[in-house]
Structure 1
Amino acid sequence: MRTNNEPKLIAGNANKSLAKAVARRMSMHRGMNVGLVDARVERFNDGEIFVEVFENVRGEDMFIIQPTSNPANDNLMELLIIADALRRSSAGRITAVIPYFGYARQDRRTKARTPITAKLVANMLVEAGVERVLTMDLHATQIQGFFDIPVDNLYASPIFALDIAHHFKDRMDELMVVSPDVGGVARARELAKRIDSPLSIVDKRREKPGEVAEMTVIGDVKDKVCLIVDDLCDTAGTLCKAAEHLMEQGAKEVHSYITHGVLSGPAVGRISNSVMKSLVITDTIEATPAVKQAENIRIVPTAPIFAQAILNTWNGTSVSSLFDLQTLGPIYEGLYTQD
């Protein structure tokens, strides 16, 4: 339900660039300055996190912008402590805007005596005082059910569809959307429907975690411009091998659209030296200098969709309306100008 006050944003240290971009977009929409609440998020010498909010937030509709990316534990603790500080300061409602939801890969017990850490994180967020969660492309959509509070999961596929329509406008009939594994078929199919493209699957068999023993392409990719679609890329080993295999099967070009560019360890080097012509990621995770300097990595903004989703949440209007290109297109107007 909409409150009488304007929405207020506060950010941790995980992705200040995105938080400031969201504030700028909201300022454009509201026709007034929307800034980040003045606060400090610091560490004691032993690494403990301390938060102090310098503005009155009593009764306010608060939105904490904080992805739980690397360092995941520090950023998660910042989020929890900010939420606790706001709750103890009598904030009216606390929404956690988590562009990248860390620990989402631990969503089930894969072996005996292993945790379901995504559920544990959900419990901690609720206990800290979070009353609503806004995120993007959860690794496993069932994580929404781990919460007993509302969860809005935005999708990057409409943004990617706009990007593809702009950058491949003269080659749309050559495109082939590729899922890098069987588990990601639903995500790839969603994008394929949006751009009216066929779908292919790379089926992989692992000997052990992180190592692929064999790959098989399901579908004819010969002379196609392949677009690999996934929710996250960590070390990029599997992604680069999938691109190589597609080229071996006769693909004309390989590009990748990945929502969350975790890109840890040797990832950037692998991508720079791979057969992929481009890797497109969003800014849900703040890019490192190496990522920004990589010639074949391109970053698309999520601030427009997050700003509108925050305003819709504050207004009590539909967030799912943002999945429609007719709604999303005007929000990204100027970034993807159609001829």
Structure 2
Amino acid sequence: MRADNLKIIAGNSNRQLADDICQFVGVPLTDATVTSFPDGESFVRINENVRGQDVFLIQSSCPPVNNNLIELLIMIDAARRASAARITAVIPFYGYARQDRKDQPRVPITAKLVANLLTSAGANRVLAVDLHAGQIQGFFDIPVDHLLAFPVLYEYISKLDLKNLVVMSPDVGGVKMADAYARMLKSGLGFVAKKRHSATQVEATSIVGDVKDCDVLLIDDMTETAGTICAAAKLIKRQGASRIFAAVTHANLQDMAYERLKDGPIDELIVTDTIPVDTRGLPIKVLSVAKLLGEAIIRINNNESVTSLFRVKGF
């Protein structure tokens, strides 16, 4: 049962998801003013008593990334100064996650910097979904509950009428994730080798796996310009695939992505609502992670395990 000391506060990044989480948990959204001054400075005021409460702050660091991140830090500080007993930063989409290593001279490890900022602001724990790299959990000196969107995506994908299914990763780095889906769906497995020319231009060079006359499911954790999945899909289509689906947890779609999806061979893009998604009339299916996050919030509040949230019914 949910305790009476649970408070959920939302920033401005994904208010609909916060409302859906509150509806599932069975608590009203805590009244808070989260706005900006005319010069752009963020301002937060919690309008209810949270002294001694278990506070969950819901905020994705999606565009505008820096504004939403600063807003979250100020929300944490406001809750800490209001004497909250415990503060959990619920970050459905963790921005800066791709800057998780020093792969060039004189560049930052910004994913670690963000972890330091969250901790210094006063967060006691973090709840996130599908971090770009699992080792980001190690950047924190506070507990991190790293949820996977896999059960949400699998529930929908398993009900599709897929024939001769092959699960493919659009790049070598995602093979482990694709393998997990392939084992659950009892399908074939493959991947696409790619060459990145710039942040927005990707070339798919070769395929490992047989896709002729098969339905193909491309699996990735995030997309912004849809360059990787569309390049992979075009090459897969040329190899004789029947239909192509793509499942992506975080759809941080930019204008270029919509143009590519409009002209590309992907029959359906399946995404979650960790980031607000405008389908623009395209075949984009948006699945909600509100139940997943809501159940995790209830369990954290009750000091229960969240391990079972990683399991899929029947496995």
Which bracket does the TM-score occupy, shorter chain normalised?
over 0.9
Worse-matched range after superposition: 58-67 or 4-13: 4-13
Give the match for residue 256 of structure 1: 246
Q: CA shift at 1:174, angstroms? A: 1.4
Give the match for residue 9 of structure 1: 8
Deviations 1:136-188 (A, max 9, x none): 000011100000011111111121111111123xx3x5111110111111111
Which residue identity does 2:117 align to in structure 1?
M
Give the match for residue 278 of structure 1: 268
Relative to the length of structure 1, the TM-score reads: 0.90
Secondary structure in structure 1 of the residue aligned to 2:255:
coil
Give the match for residue 294 of structure 2: 307
Secondary structure in structure 1 of the residue aligned to 2:300:
helix
Give the match for residue 174 of structure 2: 184
Aligned: 1:326 with 2:313: yes
Aligned partners of 1:4 and 1:263: how far apart in 2?
37
Aligned: 1:298 with 2:297: no
Task: Supply the RMSD in Å over aligned alpha carbons.
Answer: 1.6
Structure 1 segment 119-268 matched on structure 2, within 5 A: 119-168=112-161, 171=162, 174-268=164-258
Instruction: Summarize the Cα distance change of 1:221–1:4 in structure 2 as closer, same or farther, 3 Å threshold.
Output: closer
Which residue identity does 2:67 align to in structure 1?
D
Structure 1 segment 12-31 matched on structure 2, within 5 A: 12-27=11-26
Aligned partners of 2:3 and 2:248: how far apart in 1?
38
Aligned partners of 1:265 and 1:315: how far apart in 2?
42
Give the match for residue 68 of structure 2: 75
Aligned: 1:96 with 2:101: no
The answer to whether the Cα contact below 8 Å between 2:59 and 2:68 also exists between their aligned partners in 1 is: yes
Which structure 1 residue ranges, 4+ long, deviate > 3 Å from structure 2?
2-6, 207-210
Report how many residues are paired: 315
Aligned partners of 1:39 and 1:96: how far apart in 2?
16
Give the match for residue 333 of structure 1: none
The answer to whether the Cα contact below 8 Å between 2:32 and 2:44 also exists between their aligned partners in 1 is: yes
Aligned partners of 2:29 and 2:202: how far apart in 1?
44
Aligned partners of 1:87 and 1:214: how far apart in 2?
48
Deviations 1:226-263 (A, max 9, x none): 00000001111221111110000111111100000001
The answer to whether the Cα contact below 8 Å between 1:205 and 1:212 also exists between their aligned partners in 2 is: yes
Which residue identity does 2:283 align to in structure 1?
N
Secondary structure in structure 2 of the residue aligned to 1:153:
strand
Percent identical among aligned pairs is: 46
Instruction: Summarize the Cα distance change of 1:208–1:273 in structure 2 as closer, same or farther, 3 Å threshold.
Output: closer
Aligned: 1:117 with 2:107: no
Aligned partners of 1:73 and 1:213: how far apart in 2?
30
The answer to whether the Cα contact below 8 Å between 1:272 and 1:294 also exists between their aligned partners in 2 is: no
Aligned partners of 1:242 and 1:326: how far apart in 2?
31
Aligned partners of 1:104 and 1:42: how far apart in 2?
26
Q: CA shift at 1:117, angstroms? A: 0.2
The answer to whether the Cα contact below 8 Å between 1:3 and 1:61 also exists between their aligned partners in 2 is: no
Instruction: Summarize the Cα distance change of 1:183–1:269 in structure 2 as closer, same or farther, 3 Å threshold.
Output: same
The answer to whether the Cα contact below 8 Å between 2:204 and 2:235 also exists between their aligned partners in 1 is: no
Give structure 1 stretches of 5+ with no counterpart. 28-33, 329-339
Aligned partners of 1:174 and 1:302: how far apart in 2?
28
Which residue identity does 1:26 align to in structure 2?
V
Give structure 2 stretches of 5+ with no counterpart. none
The answer to whether the Cα contact below 8 Å between 1:14 and 1:69 also exists between their aligned partners in 2 is: yes
Secondary structure in structure 2 of the residue aligned to 1:69:
coil
Instruction: Summarize the Cα distance change of 1:4–1:300 in structure 2 as closer, same or farther, 3 Å threshold.
Output: closer
Q: CA shift at 1:294, angstroms? A: 2.4
Secondary structure in structure 2 of the residue aligned to 1:260:
strand
Aligned partners of 1:300 and 1:136: how far apart in 2?
14
Give the match for residue 334 of structure 1: none
Aligned partners of 1:316 and 1:134: how far apart in 2?
14
Worse-matched range after superposition: 189-198 or 144-153: 189-198
